[in-house]
C-alpha cells in the first residue's frame, strides 16, 4: 500500500539553525510528493512539491529533493526563523489516484 | 488563497446528536475532500467527491456520510455523533488531472461531549 513516515517530533531549534525533517514513503509507481505547512489555528498550505525523480521543490528557503532510490523527500532549510514554527506534513499522491496520503506531521518550534 | 470556506468553524455538541459540516468553494474545482486531523495521525481521508452526486469512501468513513448536490458545496454529516468523532475537520479541493495538489479550508473544530 501507500504510506508516508515522518521523523518523530516535536523538533526544537534555535533561530538560524539548519533544519532537516525526514520523510520516507512507500508507494507503487511514481507518486507526486508534497510538503504542507500548518501554522497555529490555520489550515494546511502547500509549501513545495516534486512530481518526478530527482526534482527539487523549493519555496521560502525550504527545499526537498525527490529521491527514488531511497524513497525519500526530506525537507531542509539552511537558516530557520521564529516564523517557521509550525507543523509540517509530508504527503504523497499515488499515480492515477486523486488522493493524498499524509505522514503524521512534525511540530517544529524555533526559539529566538 | 483558494476560495474555500467551512462552517461552522467551531461546534460543541452532545453524543447522539446529528451534526452537519459544510464546505463551500468558489474555484469550480471538480474534486472535494473531507479529512479529520488527530494528534499522532496526521490527516486521514473520510470521504471525497469527484463530481456532483459522485462520492466515495476514504480510510475512516465509518459513522460519516457526505453529499454533493452542487459543484460548490460538499456536506459532511455525522448521523449520531460520538466522542471519538471529536476532532478538527478539514475540507480540501483540487482540480482535475495534474499532480493532485490540494487546497485546504480553515478547518472546523468539533467537540462531542
pLDDT tens profile A59-83: 999 999 999 999 999 999 999 999 9
- Put simply, the answer to whether A98 touches B104 (Cβ < 8 Å) is no
Task: Please state, in angstroms and rounded to a whole number, the distance separating the CA atoms of residues A104 and A36.
Answer: 12
- Better-scored residue on pLDDT, A90 or A99: A90
pLDDT tens profile A47-59: 999 999 999 999 9
The minimum CA-CA distance between A101 and chain B, rounded to whole Å, is 8
- Put simply, the answer to whether B104 touches A44 (Cβ < 8 Å) is yes
pLDDT recorded at residue B42: 86
User: Percent of chain B having pLDDT more than 70?
Assistant: 97
- Put simply, the answer to whether B40 touches A97 (Cβ < 8 Å) is no
Q: Average pLDDT of A24-46?
A: 93
pLDDT band at B97 (very low <50, low <70, confident <90, very high): low
User: Percent of chain A having pLDDT more than 70?
Assistant: 100
Task: Please state, in angstroms and rounded to a whole number, the distance separating the CA atoms of residues B29 and B48.
Answer: 13
Which residues from A are below 8 Å from B31, CB to CB?
A: 98
Question: Residue B1 pLDDT more than 60?
Answer: no
Interface of A with B in 58-87 (CB under 8 A): none
Which residues from B are below 8 Å from A105, CB to CB?
A: 42
pLDDT recorded at residue A98: 83
- Put simply, the answer to whether A49 touches B102 (Cβ < 8 Å) is no
Task: Please state, in angstroms and rounded to a whole number, the distance separating the CA atoms of residues B73 and A22.
Answer: 36
Task: Please state, in angstroms and rounded to a whole number, the distance separating the CA atoms of residues B65 and B63.
Answer: 7
In this structure, what C-alpha cell is assigned to residue A64? 526537498
CA dihedral A52→A80→A42→B83, nearest 10 degrees, is 90
Helix/strand/coil for A82? helix
pLDDT recorded at residue B95: 85
DSSP A42: S
Question: Residue B88 pLDDT more than 90?
Answer: yes
Q: Average pLDDT of A18-33?
A: 94
pLDDT band at A29 (very low <50, low <70, confident <90, very high): confident
Q: Average pLDDT of B58-76?
A: 96
The minimum CA-CA distance between B35 and chain A, rounded to whole Å, is 10
Which residues from B are below 8 Å from A37, CB to CB?
A: none
Task: Tell me the average pLDDT of chain A.
Answer: 94
The minimum CA-CA distance between B84 and chain A, rounded to whole Å, is 18
CB distance A12 to A109 below 8 Å: yes
Which residues from A are below 8 Å from B94, CB to CB?
A: 98
Amino acid at each position: 500500500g501507500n504510506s508516508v513516515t515522518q521523523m518523530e517530533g516535536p523538533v526544537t531549534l534555535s533561530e538560524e539553525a539548519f533544519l532537516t525533517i525526514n520523510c520516507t514513503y512507500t508507494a507503487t509507481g511514481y507518486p507526486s510528493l508534497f510538503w504542507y505547512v500548518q501554522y497555529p489555528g490555520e489550515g494546511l498550505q502547500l509549501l513545495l512539491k516534486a512530481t518526478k525523480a530527482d526534482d527539487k521543490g523549493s519555496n521560502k528557503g525550504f527545499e526537498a529533493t525527490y529521491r527514488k532510490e531511497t524513497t525519500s523527500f526530506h525537507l531542509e532549510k539552511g537558516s530557520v526563523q521564529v516564523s517557521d514554527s509550525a507543523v509540517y506534513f509530508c504527503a504523497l499522491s499515488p499515480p492515477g489516484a486523486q488522493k493524498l496520503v499524509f505522514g503524521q506531521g512534525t511540530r517544529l518550534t524555533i526559539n529566538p | 488563497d483558494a476560495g474555500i470556506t467551512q462552517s461552522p468553524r467551531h461546534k460543541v455538541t452532545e453524543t447522539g446528536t446529528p451534526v452537519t459540516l459544510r464546505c463551500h468553494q468558489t474555484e469550480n474545482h471538480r474534486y472535494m475532500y473531507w479529512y479529520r486531523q488527530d494528534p499522532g495521525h496526521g490527516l486521514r481521508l473520510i470521504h471525497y467527491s469527484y463530481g456532483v452526486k459522485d462520492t466515495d469512501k476514504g480510510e475512516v468513513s465509518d459513522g460519516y456520510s457526505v453529499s454533493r448536490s452542487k459543484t460548490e458545496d460538499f456536506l459532511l454529516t455525522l448521523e449520531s455523533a460520538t466522542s471519538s468523532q471529536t476532532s478538527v475537520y478539514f475540507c480540501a479541493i483540487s482540480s482535475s488531472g495534474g499532480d493532485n495538489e490540494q487546497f485546504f479550508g480553515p478547518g472546523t473544530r468539533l467537540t462531542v461531549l
